[in-house]
Amino acid sequence: MKKRCMALMCAVSAAGVIAALFAMPPVAFGQGQGEVRQPGAKYDFDFKGQKPALAPRRDISGVWEPAAGAGAGINANGAQQMPSDGKPEHELPYTPEGRAAFMAHKPTFGVTMVPSALTNDPMPGCDPQGFPRIVLHNYRTSRILQTPENVVILYEFNKKWRTIWTDGRQLPKEFEEPRWWGYSVGRWVDDYTFVAESGGFDDRTWLDNAGRPHSDAMKVQEKYRRVDRDHLEMTIVVDDPKYYTKPWTAMILSLRLQSPSFDIREMECSPTETALYNKLFANPAAGIEDSAK
Amino acid sequence: MRNTLVTLFAVVAGLVIASRPVGAHHGAAAFENDPAKRVVLKGTVTQWIWANPHTFLLFDVKADDGQLVRWVVEASNPPDMINRGWSIRSFKAGDEVTVTVRPVKSGKPVGSIIQVRFADGHVLSAVAGGNEPAPARP
């Protein structure tokens, strides 16, 4: 009987894999989209078997795109390394306060999702998603600029930008005021590894698209390792002693260098467009009558 | 025979598992996730709204009683749809379309687009790699 069950499970799995390969193209929207191409972009699947040139020293500038495909940086269901999928290994190390903050959030994705008309996610109304959510939720094409004083990152998603100070200053122990995007300082730890530390966050932002919370005590470590000329590996670690009992790795993403003339498309959160979307789509989807009718 | 049945069951189960729709739209909780509940609707485009957070298509479908029902169906945001071969010019008012829709649970004429087939036979799919050109004329 046991043998038969095993055979059945194998057959189910095999049939699933075969069907996934031949019957169903990669994931449509959201988590790990695989080989989806942004027109004009270059991906690792275009250069199979080719060995890139060596990395330049102390240089992470350029236009960068997720190396595995246009959707590989989009994590609708929560942080890439720790999605909100109910699996025990993805349970975050919440403190009681952190868990209570998570349960108070009503995200539109993940195990605690609600219809979008019932969400209290600050982002759909065009409040700033802040850092690190912009990266953990929706890492699209970005442009990194380096000057002697700072590294500036321009993000496609909602057309946002951040400054990481590289003029030798230290991350303050106390912050004047909380910021949606935090306060960031960075340094080269070797010729190919740039590390930024950020703090001073406004706790109104969410960590990811599944409603994971952070407190005003959060620090984020962001590491960029220039693997070779064409690749940058980004790692994000969240350290928030108020809400999490230990630091946890939220994302590891390989980025591929694009042409300097690559035109990053416009993507913007418009309150007017959002209002129209809610009126025509999100409210009826949730069964809410539109009082404006 | 019994082995054949077991294998057949396994293949069917595998197909069901593999072809589950990927509910990753905003408010995915509102949608019917059972593929058997998808609907295929023939209608006339009234508006194609190319906007964030999602694009959406408005089209009129004639119900059995002759009344026109206005359906509103969404796809993803503009950059994601460009990656799937769609554009701001994909539809114009008056286009005759056959739309496969994942409806919402509320019963309203609202849903998300699986694919759209146009009168000339070409298909726009919400899933990458699923588009089809119009058949060649004989």
DSSP letter at B29 equals: G
> Domain map of chain B by residue range?
24-125
Structure confidence at residue B7 as a pLDDT band (50, 70, 90): very low
The pLDDT confidence band at residue B25, using thresholds 50, 70 and 90, is low
The mean predicted confidence, pLDDT, of chain A is 89
* CA–CA min distance B73, chain A (Å): 8
Q: Which two tokens stand for residue A249?
A: 């790795």
Q: Which residue has the higher pLDDT, B138 or B23?
A: B138
CA A229 from chain centre, in angstroms, equals 23
What percentage of residues in chain A have a pLDDT greater than 90? Answer: 81
**More confident of the two residues A286 and A275:** A275
Greater model confidence, A290 or B64: B64
Stretch A105-125: mean pLDDT, rounded?
A: 92
For residue A193, pLDDT over 50 is answered with yes
Mutating which of A3, A29, A33 best tests the B interface, going by the most B Cβ atoms within 10 A?
A: A29
Please write the tens of the pLDDT for every residue from A123-160: 988 999 999 999 999 999 999 999 999 999 999 999 99
- Summarize the confidence of residues B7-21 as an average pLDDT: 39
Distance CA A150, CA A45 (A): 33
- Are A75 and A137 in contact by the 8 Å Cβ rule? The answer is yes
Place of tokens 């993805």: A90
DSSP classification of residue A6? H
Cα Rg of chain A, angstroms: 21
Sign of CA dihedral B126, B129, B130, B133: positive
Q: Which range has the worst mean pLDDT, A254-263, A274-283, A284-293, B81-90?
A: A284-293
Which token pair is A77?
């269901």
State residue A24's pLDDT score: 31
The band of A27, judged by pLDDT with boundaries at 50, 70 and 90, is: very low
pLDDT at B34 (0 to 100): 87
Contacts of B27 in chain A (CB under 8 A): 108, 113-119, 282, 285-286
Between residues 197 and 216 of chain A, which touch chain B (CB distance below 8 Å)? Answer: none
More confident residue, A33 or A168: A168
Of B18, B106, B109, the CB nearest to A24: B18
In this prediction, residue A261 has a pLDDT band, given cuts at 50, 70 and 90, of: very high
Summarize the confidence of residues A240-265 as an average pLDDT: 97
* Mean pLDDT calculated for residue range A206-216: 98
A111 inside 8 A of chain B by CB = no
Low-confidence winner among A151-160, A192-201, B27-36, B111-120 (lowest mean pLDDT):
B27-36
Buried b (16+ CB within 10 A) or exposed e, A140-161: bbbbbebeeebbebebbbbebe
> In this predicted model, which residue has the larger pLDDT, A224 or B20?
A224
- The pLDDT value recorded for residue A286 is 83
DSSP letters of A86-146?
Answer: S-GGG---B-HHHHHHHHH---SSSTT---GGG---STTTT----TTHHHHHH---EEEEE
CB A162 within 8 A of CB A187: no
Q: What is the mean pLDDT of residues A6-15?
A: 43
Phi, psi of A196 (to 5 degrees): -115, 140
- Per-residue confidence (pLDDT) for residue B79, from 0 to 100: 94
CATH superfamily of B24-125: Nucleic acid-binding proteins (2.40.50.140)
Q: Is the pLDDT of residue A22 over 80?
A: no
For residues A104-121, average pLDDT: 93
Is A109 a residue whose pLDDT tops 60? yes
Inspect the interface and report whether the beta carbons of A284 and B104 lie closer than 8 Å: yes
For residue B22, the model assigns a pLDDT of: 35
The count of other CB atoms within 10 Å of the CB of residue B92 is 9
Whether the pLDDT of residue B10 is over 60: the answer is no
Does residue A20 register a pLDDT over 50? no
Preferred mutation among B5, B12, B52 to probe A, highest tally of A CBs within 10 A: B52
Taking CA atoms, what residue in A is nearest to B5?
Answer: A8
What is the pLDDT confidence band of residue A293, given thresholds at 50, 70 and 90? very low
CA dist B138 to A96, B122, B131, Å?
A: 69, 16, 21
- pLDDT for B13 equals 41
In this prediction, residue A282 has a pLDDT band, given cuts at 50, 70 and 90, of confident
Least confidently predicted of A12-26, A71-85, A205-219, A225-239: A12-26
Residues of B in contact with A112 (CB under 8 A): none
A10: pLDDT strictly greater than 80:
no
- Look at residue B96 in the predicted model and tell me its pLDDT: 98
Task: Calculate the average pLDDT of chain B.
Answer: 84
